[in-house]
Structure 1
Amino acid sequence: MTGVLRTDLLGTPVVGSDGSKVGTLRSVTMDVRTGELRQFLVDSESERPTSFERNGDGYLVIPASRAQSLSEHLVVERGGGR
């Protein structure tokens, strides 16, 4: 995902590695010292159990380490809790 601007990512559909819809990317956080992506905040209306936690605003918090690919969708490893 090198060279991708934050503004280009916002609104990107997020899907699980199993093909299921997770939600829509609303924000990304990064380490300002290193430029390393930390996490993605995803808007999801699904009540489906997930291994991702929700923050105080109700967004799913997905660690950047769970990102597998980015093209028309951000694909993330869903992990347990399906």
Structure 2
Amino acid sequence: MLGTELEGTPVVGSDGSKLGTLRSVTVDVRTGELKQFLVTLESERPTSFDRNGDGHLLVPASCAQSLSEHLIVERE
């Protein structure tokens, strides 16, 4: 599946809270390893994930638990 096909996928915390929507995916081009997800926030709920300069969440790929209709991530 291409990263562009994932754009707009809802992102939900493992506790059931909606975090936002997937904006993009970062991959290491040398290894093909998934690095992180850039998430557009749904609300200003507190979260432990870092944010970039535009206010998007930077979710490490290691936090991903599953991907189907939603990307479910472990909240740090």
Alignment pair present for 1:31 and 2:18: no
Letter matched to residue 44 of structure 2? E
Q: Give the total of aligned pairs.
A: 76
Stretches (4+) displaced over 3 A: none
- What is the alpha-carbon distance in structure 2 between the residues aligned to residue 63 and residue 76 of structure 1? 9
Q: Is the 8 A contact 2:39 2:58 kept in 1?
A: yes
What is the CA-CA distance between 1:44 and the residue it aligns to?
A: 0.2
Find the residue that maps to 1:19 and give its secondary structure: coil
Match of 2:44 among 44, 47, 52: 47
Q: CA RMSD in A?
A: 0.8
Q: Any gaps of 5 or more consecutive residues in structure 2? A: none
TM-score by length of 1: 0.89
Cα distance between partner residues in 2 of 1:7 and 1:39: 14
Shift of 1:45: 3.8
* 1:12 is the counterpart of 2:9: yes
Letter in 2 for 1:21: K
Selected match of 1:65 from 62, 66, 71: 62
Query: Deviations for 1:19-73, whole angstroms, at most 9, x for unmatched residues?
Result: 1101000011110000001000000042211010110111000000000000000
Distance 1:24 1:45 in 2: 7
Identity of aligned residues (%): 79
Answer 1 or 2: which has greater strand percent.
Answer: 2
